[in-house]
Amino acid sequence: MAIKVLVVDDEPPILALVKTILEPLGCEILTVSDSREAAQLIDKQKLDGIFLDGGMPHLDGFQLTERIRKSNSNRQVPIVMLTGADDAETMRRGFKAGISFFLGKPVTKDRLEKLFKVMRGSMLSEKRRYARLPFHTTVTCEVNKKTIKLGSINISTGGMLIEPAEALQVGQEFDLEFNLPEIKNSLKVRAQALHRDPKDGVGIKFINLSAEDRQAIERYISGAM
């Protein structure tokens, strides 16, 4: 299960170095030298981790981090700032913007590998949280005191995509029930319709998923990926 990592730095040698070190550790590396391009990319692709330079032309690392934290799909991704400054003020500013970790320059193989080991768990959790796997089962929905049965299309730990249904309107909350393979008891959760397309189906998010049910979905996704 490759971890998708974005590396943003205006120095090509740094991009090449980080890519060389992280790829053998099971990462798919995207490198970008222009922070403006990176700002566009974060709105188009789901990432599992981001390494970015603190001082860059156009958008510096702090500004880019603020953009990432406001994005729809990458707002919780772990972010590492690469910087030659190690003073308290720089770190306070970074943490305020949303930086998760700092890695001092010059970047070395030993320090980067050690940091990656610390980050790996949170990056895998981020990957599982957004991963949508094909999942076909019957979903029972209680909508406006009516019961409708629909087929699911895919699932993530945060929600599902189910068959198109006129009864489900965007923003509407409802109860649903479904079964996971090899799980004896059905999962009963509160959900909300996020988007609806006559062809693609209805995207829903889970609202009050219990810790037990979340773990069951995570186990299913981890085993199927």
Give whole-number Cα distances, 176 to 79, 123, 158, 207, in Å: 35, 29, 14, 11
Q: What pLDDT, on the 0 to 100 scale, is given for residue 1?
A: 60
Does residue 201 sit in the same domain as residue 164?
yes
Q: Above 80 in pLDDT, residue 127? A: no
- Tell me the longest C-alpha to C-alpha distance in the chain: 62
Does residue 111 sit in the same domain as residue 138?
no
Apex 73 CA angle, 68 and 78, nearest 5: 55
Measure the CA–CA gap between 13 and 102, rounded to whole angstroms: 19
Does residue 115 sit in the same domain as residue 27?
yes
Residue 21 corresponds to which amino acid?
I
Does residue 92 sit in the same domain as residue 46?
yes
What is the chain's mean pLDDT, rounded?
A: 89
Q: What pLDDT, on the 0 to 100 scale, is given for residue 114?
A: 92
Quote the distance between the C-alpha of residue 189 and its chain's center.
Answer: 22
Does residue 217 sit in the same domain as residue 158?
yes
| Residue pLDDT, tens place only, 146-173 | 999 999 999 988 899 999 888 888 999 9
Q: Above 90 in pLDDT, residue 185? A: no
Does residue 126 sit in the same domain as residue 141?
no
Apex 140 CA angle, 137 and 143, nearest 5: 145
| Residue pLDDT, tens place only, 26-82 | 999 999 999 999 999 998 888 999 999 999 999 999 999 999 999 988 988 999 999
Quote the distance between the C-alpha of residue 8 and its chain's center.
Answer: 18
Query: 180 near 216, Cβ under 8 Å?
Result: yes
Q: What pLDDT, on the 0 to 100 scale, is given for residue 190?
A: 95
pLDDT bracket for residue 224 (50, 70, 90) = low
Does residue 36 sit in the same domain as residue 22?
yes
Does residue 21 sit in the same domain as residue 88?
yes
The count of domains in the chain is 2
| Residue pLDDT, tens place only, 193-209 | 988 877 789 999 999 88
Does residue 125 sit in the same domain as residue 150?
no
pTM: 0.64
Q: Which domain holds residue 143?
A: 133-224
**Helices H, strands E: what count in the chain?**
6, 12
Query: What integer is the mean pLDDT of 87-93?
Result: 86
Does residue 126 sit in the same domain as residue 143?
no
pLDDT bracket for residue 131 (50, 70, 90) = low
